[in-house]
């Protein structure tokens, strides 16, 4: 496995807004986690890479995570994780869970029910949240509740991405919306592939929107209010993602041919709103 220099958190990503609010040591730890997440994600999202090679690389990383937790990493990215793992007690399972989730994309998995989709989202998104909350830190909320907070926020973020990227995902042959709910909306995958935007599609997307909003609310209710200031970076990302979700609804779910984004000034306003929320104002 060829080593690669760890990338810094990308300035255009929503991840970067939360990154800015941390002290230097935590920024460095988060940057190391971001490097790992980007690397694993790129393995499964590089079109030129044969699937067998991608699986081989994921197998390497399963073994590499075990080496990391023995203090014997072989790759530059995992060497960068040595200090964060030790300093912030990041659980090994979160790194392995991300590999499990990303591997599902290699198999072209489609999801029959929301429970099936949540399994995928736990892998690709909630795992990252668990890594991050250990870096952010908390005092008053139980570990179990805090891990559930990260898990449910992961669902919220990832479902927001899925809603935003319906059309883009069709370009690469991926459908993440639960098949049973497509059927319940009196829609079908064939019509989705044809990008048929009618009342049935609106029903389907309205259901996903309501579920995502419920995830955001449920996650917030899991945290002791005294821990909110420590979790400000997470709330900045959550406010931006939830703002994006609301913007998609305002645009009547026009996601089949375009990808909705928020301008910088809106993101900054939402970040300030998150600060007020976390400080009880």
CATH superfamily of 14-278: Farnesyl Diphosphate Synthase (1.10.600.10)
Q: What distance in Å separates the CA atoms of residue 165 and residue 56, rounded to the nearest whole number? A: 28
User: C-alpha distances in angstroms, 192 versus 104, 198, 203, 249?
Assistant: 21, 10, 13, 18
pTM given for the model: 0.92
Counting residues of the chain whose pLDDT is more than 70, the rounded percentage is 93
Provide the angle, in degrees to the nearest 10, between the axes of the packed helices 24-45 and 51-69. 150
Q: What distance in Å separates the CA atoms of residue 272 and residue 124, rounded to the nearest whole number? A: 28
The alpha-helical segments, DSSP class H, found in 165-231 are 166-171, 179-184, 189-193, 199-220
| Residues 6+ positions from 66 with CB-CB distance below 8 Å | 92
Q: What distance in Å separates the CA atoms of residue 192 and residue 214, rounded to the nearest whole number? A: 25
Residue-wise pLDDT tens digits, 58-117: 999 999 999 999 999 999 999 999 999 999 999 999 999 999 999 999 987 799 999 999
C-beta separation of 192 from 200 below 8 A: no
pLDDT at 219: 98
pLDDT reading at 201 higher than 90: yes
pLDDT reading at 5 higher than 80: no
pLDDT reading at 4 higher than 60: no
């Amino acid at each position: 496995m060829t080593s690669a220099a760890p990338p810094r958190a990308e300035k255009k990503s929503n991840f970067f807004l939360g990154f800015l609010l941390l002290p230097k040591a935590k920024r460095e730890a988060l940057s190391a986690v971001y490097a790992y997440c980007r690397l694993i994600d790129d393995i499964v999202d590089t079109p030129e890479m044969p699937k067998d090679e991608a699986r081989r690389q994921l197998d390497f990383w399963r073994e590499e995570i075990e080496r990391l937790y023995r203090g014997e990493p072989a790759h530059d990215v995992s060497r960068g994780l040595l200090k964060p793992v030790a300093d912030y007690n990041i659980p090994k399972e979160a790194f392995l869970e991300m590999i499990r989730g990303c591997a599902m994309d290699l198999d072209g998995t489609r999801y029959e029910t929301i429970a099936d989709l949540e399994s995928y989202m736990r892998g690709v998104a909630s795992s990252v949240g668990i890594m991050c909350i250990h870096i952010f830190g908390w005092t008053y909320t139980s570990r179990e509740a805090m891990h559930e907070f990260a898990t449910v926020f992961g669902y919220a973020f990832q479902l927001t991405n899925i809603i935003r990227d319906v059309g883009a995902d069709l370009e690469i042959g991926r459908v993440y919306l639960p098949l049973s709910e497509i059927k319940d909306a009196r829609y079908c995958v064939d019509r989705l592939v044809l990008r048929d935007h009618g009342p049935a599609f609106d029903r389907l997307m309205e259901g996903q929107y309501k579920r995502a909003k419920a995830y955001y609310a449920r996650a917030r209710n899991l945290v002791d209010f005294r821990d909110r200031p420590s979790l400000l970076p997470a709330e900045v990302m959550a406010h931006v993602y939830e703002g994006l979700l609301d913007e998609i609804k305002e645009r009547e779910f026009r996601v089949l041919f375009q990808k909705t984004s928020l301008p910088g000034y809106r993101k900054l306003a939402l970040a300030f709103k998150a600060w007020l929320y976390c400080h009880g104002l």
